[in-house]
């Protein structure tokens, strides 16, 4: 039977978590740059979630009669060289960008977390081996790595995700390793060791919760970089297939007809700029809100 004390403790924990979440959001919105980032990120996420309902036209429907049309009431941002509605392609491209970015970063985090924990807490020879692997991957030029993977697997969403994962894992694992090396000398870890606590318990119950925060902040800051990387690979023909609406494909198509119309280039570049600004501002505001050194209120 659950005691009233246990119920009271559970009830107190939930309002505390909600209060901290509310304080974090309030801190982000308290600065102009944080508010701009929050609004842009919210807009991008909502657009990605409801893209099929927001797009006024089929983004792949070809209408040669209206190719390179100027903005009008029927096509607010005009059309591309095949008569496809640019606004619809941008909206659906937002879903493509966020799907690739979030899938790749989630996979990279899932791989980097255990590797970083093992490198920081495990024996020195294993740490040295993992660092050698991380350095070897980081030393490879990103474009050359992408070219090699595309030659082996062919262009596509899965190829882009794989390239981004290989690009991201070393930096994330290094961050986790650094945090783990710092934490494993703390008194609460030494107390667990004295009590003969198992390694899995120490890693996943005590170390993991303390390294997740900085890692998520770094991942949030990296979303804009990942989106730009995906667009760059698609622009070069190494990423998302041309028939799939994406910001990189819109840019690539636009540059092919830039002498006739600059609208497709502007339409493909503007969301990239807004996404970079939004996630950068939001990530920095989130870091300021969660870091006790930058936000003294978090210490209390």
**Domains (range + CATH), the chain:** 18-299 (1.10.3720.10)
Angle at 245 between CA 71 and CA 264, to 5 degrees: 35
Instruction: Provide φ and ψ at 151, rounded to 5°.
Output: -60, -40
> In sequence order, what are the beta bridge partners of 79?
85
* Tens-digit pLDDT profile for residues 118-138: 888 878 888 889 889 888 888
Kindly report the pTM of this predicted structure: 0.81
Q: Exposed/middle/buried for 242, CB within 10 Å: 0-12, 13-18, 19+?
A: middle
Q: Which two tokens stand for residue 50?
A: 């409801």
pLDDT at residue 263 greater than cutoff 90:
no
Mean pLDDT to the nearest integer, 153-179:
87
- Look at the block and give the residue holding tokens 């978090």: 298
Mean pLDDT to the nearest integer, 44-57:
92
Q: Which two tokens stand for residue 246?
A: 């994406």
Q: Do the beta carbons of residue 17 and residue 262 sit within 8 Å?
A: no
At residue 15, the pLDDT reads 52
At residue 212, the pLDDT reads 79
pLDDT at residue 71 greater than cutoff 50:
yes
Percentage of the chain exceeding pLDDT 70:
86
pLDDT at residue 78 greater than cutoff 80:
yes
Report helix, strand or coil for 72: coil
Instruction: Provide φ and ψ at 55, rounded to 5°.
Output: -70, 125
* Residue of higher predicted confidence among 41 and 202: 41
At residue 196, the pLDDT reads 67
Task: Calculate the average pLDDT of the chain.
Answer: 82
pLDDT at residue 39 greater than cutoff 90:
yes
Sign of CA dihedral 29, 31, 32, 36: negative
pLDDT at residue 27 greater than cutoff 50:
yes
Mean pLDDT to the nearest integer, 74-99:
90
* Tens-digit pLDDT profile for residues 235-252: 887 788 888 888 988 998
């Amino acid at each position: 039977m659950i005691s009233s004390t246990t119920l009271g403790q559970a009830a107190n924990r939930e309002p505390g978590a909600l209060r901290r979440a509310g304080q974090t959001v309030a801190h982000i919105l308290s600065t102009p740059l944080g508010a701009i980032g929050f609004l842009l990120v919210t807009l991008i996420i909502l657009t990605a979630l409801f893209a099929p309902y927001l797009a006024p036209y089929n983004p792949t429907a070809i209408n040669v009669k209206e190719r390179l049309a100027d903005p009008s009431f029927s096509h607010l941002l005009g059309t591309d060289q095949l008569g496809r509605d640019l606004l619809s392609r941008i909206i659906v491209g937002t879903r493509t960008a966020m799907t690739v970015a979030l899938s790749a970063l989630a996979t990279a985090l899932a791989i980097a977390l255990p590797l970083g924990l093992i490198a920081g807490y495990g024996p020195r020879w294993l740490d040295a081996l993992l660092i050698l692997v991380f350095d070897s991957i980081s030393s490879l030029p990103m474009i050359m790595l992408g070219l090699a993977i595309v030659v082996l697997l062919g262009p596509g969403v899965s190829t882009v995700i794989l390239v981004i994962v290989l690009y991201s894992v070393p930096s994330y694992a290094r961050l986790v390793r650094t945090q783990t090396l710092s934490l494993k000398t703390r008194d609460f870890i030494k107390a667990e060791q004295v009590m003969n606590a198992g390694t899995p318990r120490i890693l996943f119950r005590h170390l993991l919760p303390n390294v997740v925060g900085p890692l998520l902040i770094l991942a949030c800051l990296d979303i804009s970089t990942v989106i730009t990387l995906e667009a760059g690979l698609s622009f070069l023909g190494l990423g998302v297939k041309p028939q799939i609406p994406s910001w990189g494909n819109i840019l690539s198509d636009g540059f092919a007809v830039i002498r006739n119309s600059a609208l497709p280039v502007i339409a493909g570049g503007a969301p990239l700029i807004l996404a970079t600004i939004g996630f950068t501002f939001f990530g920095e505001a989130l870091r300021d809100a969660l870091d006790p050194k930058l936000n003294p209120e978090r210490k209390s």
